[in-house]
Amino acid sequence: MRIPVIAGNWKMNPPRPSEATSLALAVREVADNLPGVTTVVCPPTVFLADVRRAAGGGRLHVGAQTMHWEETGAFTGETSPAMLAELAGFVIIGHSERRQYDNETDEKVGRKVAAAVGHGLRPIAAVGETAEERRAGSTAEVIDRQVRAALGGLGRIGASGLVVAYEPVWAIGTGDAASGEDAQTVAAQIRAILRDLDPGGADEVPIQYGGSCTPDNAAEYFAQPDIDGALVGGASLKPDAFAAILRAAAELGPA
């Protein structure tokens, strides 16, 4: 029985800590009444402590948007998994914006996922193809490479806390979301790779869809057999929209 995981990626929003706290409180009010859903908000690193206090020990979980794989060292501007372990339970790794703008390679993603698990954090490992790769018919090849690289440092997948997010790059922030059928095709491929790597633990792993997920299309994704939640961008900054996505996940229940 996989519990749906709905994570809100706030990216570089909002601009002030008071707004981050208010947003977290609004989400917590909904999350506390939905025990069948794991609700996560991922604010900018500078707001993690504020948001953690706002979560207040309820059902709302806090996640970071990235991290380094080393515990300490001369890595200016970075945050280590040991630091995050005091502030968050989840961490997004390999988001396409990090891959595009910050040189987050497949090899770095794998090191980060392993480090997160080693420090008791639940990694949300993001994978997905670009528009060019999709047009070239390379989606399956890209997904296979990215998933295997992301999980290459794990001894086993079962009991690791891993979450995998399928986020087609062409759908992120564009309003051009994947269909439920297309998202399920990739999610099924991811599940097959997980079974290849760890037959006993593969079915424990929630697989999210991300990329222009809204209250209007969320239920279509959650109805798919291998999709267990969403990594939500813009809609996670709107309490009513995010609440609607959370309720859609709760209505469909565990896979």
Q: What is the pLDDT of residue 96?
A: 96
State pLDDT tens for residues 143-170.
Answer: 999 999 999 999 899 999 999 999 999 9
**Pairing relation of β-strands 5-9 and 60-64?**
unpaired
- Measure the CA–CA gap between 212 and 224, rounded to whole angstroms: 17
Query: pTM higher than 0.75, yes or no?
Result: yes
Q: Span 61-76, mean pLDDT? A: 98
Q: What is the pLDDT of residue 255?
A: 47
Kindly give the interhelix angle for 17-31 and 48-55, rounded to the nearest 10 degrees: 30
Mark residue 212 as left, alpha or beta (left: phi above 0; alpha: psi -120 to 50; beta: remaining). Answer: left
Instruction: State yes or no: pLDDT of 94 exceeds 50.
Output: yes
Q: What is the pLDDT of residue 177?
A: 87
Instruction: State yes or no: pLDDT of 173 exceeds 90.
Output: no
Instruction: State yes or no: pLDDT of 120 exceeds 90.
Output: yes
Q: Which CATH class is domain 5-252?
A: alpha beta
Tokens 């891959």 sit on residue: 99
Q: What is the pLDDT of residue 172?
A: 84
What is the band of 254 on the pLDDT scale with cuts at 50, 70, 90?
low
- For the chain, give the mean pLDDT: 96
What is the band of 253 on the pLDDT scale with cuts at 50, 70, 90?
low
Instruction: State yes or no: pLDDT of 114 exceeds 50.
Output: yes
In 10 A of CB 253, how many CB atoms? 12
Delimit the domains of the chain by residue range: 5-252
For the stretch 150-155, contacts whose Cβ atoms lie closer than 8 Å and that sit 24 or more positions apart, written own/partner, are: 150/93, 150/94, 150/106, 150/109, 150/110, 150/113, 150/125, 151/110, 151/113, 151/125, 151/194, 151/197, 152/110, 153/110, 153/111, 153/113, 153/114, 154/113, 154/114, 154/117
Nearest-CA neighbor of 210 among 187, 188, 244, 239? 187
Give the per-residue SS3 of the chain. CCCCEEEEECCCCCCCHHHHHHHHHHHHHHHCCCCCCEEEEECCHHHHHHHHHHHCCCCEEEEECCCCCCCCCCCCCCCCHHHHCCCCCEEEECCHHHHHHCCCCHHHHHHHHHHHHHCCCEEEEEECCCHHHHHCCCHHHHHHHHHHHHHCCCCCCCCCCCEEEECCHHHCCCCCCCCHHHHHHHHHHHHHHHHHHCCCCHHHCCEEEECCCCCCCHHHHHCCCCCCEEEECHHHHCHHHHHHHHHHHHHHCCC
Q: What is the pLDDT of residue 175?
A: 81
Give the active site residues.
95, 167
